[in-house]
Structure 1
Amino acid sequence: MDLIQEFEQWVGEDTYIKQVSIDCVIFGFHDNNLKVLLPKLKLDEDLWALPGGYIGKDESVLNATRRILESRTGLVDIYLEQFGVFGELNRNSKDLVKTITNKIGVTTEEHFWVFDRFISLGFYALVEYSKVTPRLNNILDESCDWYSIKELPALAIDHDQIIQKGLETLRIMLDHKLAGFNLLGETFTMKELQKMYETILDKPLRRDNFQRKMLDMDILERLEKQYTGAANKAPYLYKLKTIK
């Protein structure tokens, strides 16, 4: 199947709910850095966009989001939260989509449905960085890579605003839903946990206060020490307690 056939199949007018889309902010934590998974679009200019897609007429919003996330990460059962609806009057991707269709040689009618204004549902997803295998959308993408939240490339439409709103919501949910634990492996040290919190909140935290807070919450199970050669300095490993 060539790109034109893929495009025609991808935007089948009878397949999706019109004028509603999903944009996903996929967060990962690596080398003490909060990262976002971003595809680079097939354009003459350097421009990136959030992974996203449409909602099928025969699927729920949640299932559509899970499908999009799996197609981009190779993972299922990803932690996700809806955090906003984006539908400003000037929110228009017509010129961008037209440029992409021209780039791949697709000819469409002037009033083709993907040229219209879209209202987007924003979701953020938290993934374990090492388990993700970034996947391309062959129609749209030149590449798909991780970028630091502090060094984001040029983004299409209002996707920079969507990312910032997703980050703000994640910060609120850190304690409320213990969301950040989904960025870590099954086991972690207290130092790794604190660094993850500090990176997301973008501020330092007092070690003693942070450790006391985590232990007082009674959400962690302490495991064996993580031996690194010096037994007396080896940190304990922890994992999140199973909720019964």
Structure 2
Amino acid sequence: MKNPSQQNYISQVSIDCVIFGYHERQLKVLIPKLNFKGDFWALPAGFVYQDEDIDRAAKRILQERTSIKDIYLEQFHVFGNASRNNKAFLDQLIANNPHIVVSKNDNQREYEWFTQRFISIGYYALVDINKVIPQKIDLDHSIEWYNVHSLPPMIMDHSEIVAKALTALRTDLNEKINAFNLLPEKFTMKEVQELYETIFDRPFVRTNFQKMILELNVLERLEKKFTGAANKAPYLYRFKVKDDIG
């Protein structure tokens, strides 16, 4: 495998992806654990080729980690503090893994390439968790879903990136009406309310919430979801395609 410094990447620019999924009233984030001795968890990340659009690079990275081609994603923040670099993390990694030799050869050049200041472009993705097949890359020991409120200790500023992504998602929900990307194709109004309550971490009054959602005119009502009690069976809905929203 070619070292990143030897590939045609834009230097000192990276992409960090926060992949949100939803399951059993929990908002989750897909996070790999790095394949080194010690506890090192990091967001799915990657670099941008010189001739590649930034959004296309993000989609490439996300598809590599989820096996999904059509992914809803939003660019939400650029992380560019002057002190932002990988040096402290890499030094700790080497201290825990002395077999990683750093000398005046390709390893040294690679170390120097990674320890430069990096500007990271943050994207969040919303996926139907049931469609995702998490994929490890060479650097990963494992890749798992974690509750957004119970994350493992993350390297560098990756916990801050997740927190900013969650804030951005909450801000975007009403304007971009994107929460439905976390649900399966068909869902009940109760499931929509539970999703919103999970994202905002607070309850909503059922009647007010249902009125608010229906007034958005973005849902198509389908058949009832029969559960054995026909008179109490809730309706199923699905999100309208864009051409049908008006």
TM-score for the superposition, normalised by structure 2: 0.91
Any idea what the Cα deviations from partners look like across 1:153-206, whole Å, max 9, x if unmatched?
Answer: 100000011000000000011111011110011110000000000100111000
1:77 to 70, 92, 99: 70
In the TM superposition, residue 113 of structure 1 has moved relative to its aligned partner by: 1.5
Correspondence for 2:15: 22
Is the aligned partner of 1:46 residue 2:45?
no
User: 1:121/1:198 Cα in 2 relative to 1: closer, same or farther (>3 Å)?
Assistant: same
The corresponding residue for 1:132 is: 132
Aligned to 2:152: 153
Aligned residue for 1:82, secondary structure, equals: strand
* Aligned Cα root-mean-square deviation (Å): 1.7
Q: How does 1:42-191 map to 2 (within 5 A)?
A: 42-97=35-90, 105=100, 107=102, 108-109=107-108, 112-138=112-138, 140-191=139-190
How far residue 99 of structure 1 moved from its aligned partner, in angstroms, is 5.5
Q: Is structure 2 residue 12 aligned with structure 1 residue 13?
A: no
Take 1:184 and 1:103, find their aligned partners in 2: how far apart are those partners? 45
CA–CA separation in structure 2 for the residues paired with 1:103 and 1:22: 28
CA deviation string 1:134-162 (max 9, x = no partner): 11111x21100000011111000000110
CA contact (8 A) 1:22 1:54 kept: yes
Partner of 1:223: 222
Instruction: Name the CA distance, whole Å, in 2 between partners of 1:104 and 1:24.
Output: 29
Contact 1:84 1:121 in 2 (8 A): yes
Distance 1:206 1:55 in 2: 45
| Rounded Cα–Cα distance in structure 2 between residues aligned with 1:10 and 1:165 | 30
Q: When the two structures are aligned, how many residues end up with a matched partner?
A: 236
Which residue identity lines up with residue 126 of structure 1 in the other structure? Answer: L
Whether the 8 Å contact between 1:71 and 1:135 is mirrored in structure 2 is yes
Task: Report the more deviating stretch, 106-115 or 67-76.
Answer: 106-115
Distance in structure 2 (CA, Å) of the matches to 1:67 and 1:104: 32
Q: TM-score, normalised by structure 1?
A: 0.92
Give distance in 2, aligned partners of 1:39 and 1:134: 9
Q: CA deviation at 1:88?
A: 1.2
Mark the CA change 1:105 to 1:144 in structure 2 (over 3 Å): closer, same or farther: same
For 1:205 and 1:129, locate their aligned partners in 2 and report how far apart those are by CA, in whole Å: 24
Contact 1:40 1:144 in 2 (8 A): yes
Shift of 1:26: 0.2
For the 8 Å contact 2:5–2:113, the answer to whether it is kept is no
Instruction: Give ranges in structure 2 of 5+ residues lacking alignment.
Output: none
CA distance in 1, matches of 2:32, 2:133: 13
Shift of 1:13: 2.8
Instruction: Give structure 1 stretches of 5+ with no counterpart.
Output: 1-5
Distance 1:63 1:103 in 2: 37
> How has the CA–CA distance of structure 1 residues 153 and 243 changed in structure 2, closer, same or farther, with 3 Å as cutoff?
same
- 1:141 partner amino acid: D
Percent identity of equivalent pairs: 50
Q: Secondary structure of the residue that 1:112 maps to in structure 2? A: helix
Partners of 1:42 and 1:100 within 8 A in 2: no
CA–CA distance in structure 2, aligned partners of residues 86 and 70 of structure 1: 22
1:103 deviation in Å? 6.4
